[in-house]
Amino acid sequence: MKKFTIAIHGGAGTILKSSMTAEKEAAYKNALSQALNSGTKILSDGGTALAAVEEAVRVLEDCPLFNAGKGSVFTATGTHEMDASIMEGKTLQAGAVAQVESVRNPIRLARLIMEKSGHVFLSGDGALDFAKKMNCELMEEDWFYDEFRYQQWQKIKGTDAFQLDHSTIKDQKFGTVGAVAMDSNGNVAAATSTGGMTNKRFGRVGDSPMIGSGTYANNATCAVSCTGSGEFFIRGVVAYDVSCLMEYKGLSLQAACDEVVHSRLLKINGDGGLIAADALGNLALPFNTEGMYRAWRKSNGEELIAIYK
């Protein structure tokens, strides 16, 4: 059997065991397992890393447990503005979308932007127009409604406050989702999707749709998907920074990821984590928070589904 690897995440942040019930933990792990299985099936059938990461993220977008797609948080005006990006490492093709509403699976739209639009990054109404042209599945506003998300918003509605998806309110951790993979041809790909911050204003966009900050893929180095305090990941150009350390300093995947997450990010007070895969099949999943919803699997049968360190 040809070699492949895949890893996924559902967000990093304050995830305390003391506030995690057995039922809630089982629900998260089951959701991660479903996404992992979906991506693995594509890879084991000889499919591309690009198809695998898109499918894994799509499954997570359809799960209300995570802050992406169906589980997206509320903006200050009570809407859902979603961001996503996808990139493949062979040709460095990439697609991204920001501030899009109604689209059931923003990651699907990101791939269509990459392959059909002639552009890399679309946003807002224009992105929605393109989604309609591409016959993306659109949903009514109530499809995105989640009671927990709504209550999250009510607590800070009408104020200037906003809440990160990994808020220090101990029982309210819901995160950005992402996937990275290496397929049997040695090609890598990465995908990331998010609903952003609760009560976000002014059309705020985080790192998730930004190529080089929240998502990056290059066969010569690695594929990366990030989660955490978006502003810091943008300033640190985190996903590309991992790739640069491998390319220009000759660091291994693990060493490059550790340097970025445990040193460079912390120096600017950034918290979060990332998942990464290289073209040799290595994986790295570092985080500097109390936990990160994560899972990975290799073609040799090795796998892990975990939340805490």
Strands 121-123 and 94-100 turn out to be parallel
| Bridge partners, 215 (sequence order) | 211, 225
Is 176 part of the annotated catalytic residue set?
A: yes
Task: Burial-class residue 135 by CB neighbours within 10 Å (0-12, 13-18, 19+).
Answer: exposed
CB of 71 closer than 8 Å to CB of 63: yes
- Residue 90 to residues 50, 53, 115, 155, 189: CA-CA distances in angstroms? 10, 15, 14, 45, 9
5, 48, 176, 194: the active-site residue: 176
SS3 per-residue string spanning 44-63:
HCCCCHHHHHHHHHHHHHCC
Cα 237 to Cα 171: distance, rounded to the nearest angstrom: 29
Q: How far apart are the first and last CA of the chain?
A: 31
Residue 179: which H helix or E strand, with range?
A: strand 177-182
Strands 272-278 and 215-217 turn out to be unpaired
Catalytic residue annotation: 176
